[in-house]
Structure 1
Amino acid sequence: MSWADLHARTDILHTVLDRAARNPADAKLFDELPEMERLFGSRDGVLLALRNRWENHLNVKLDNALAQGKSAVEVYLELAGEQPALRAILDTYDTDHLYIRPRPRALAR
Structure 2
Amino acid sequence: MASGYGLAGGPSRCFPFWQELLACYVVNTDADDMSGGKKCLPVLEDYYECLHHKKEAARTRALQHAYRRAEAAHPRENAPKAGTIRNLGLLGKEEDTKSVLSATKK
* TM above 0.5: no
Q: Which has the higher contact order (CA 8 A, sep 6+)?
A: 1
Give the greater-gyration-radius structure (CA). Answer: 2
Given the two structures, how large is their TM-score scaled by the length of structure 2? 0.31
Given the two structures, how large is their TM-score scaled by the length of structure 1? 0.31
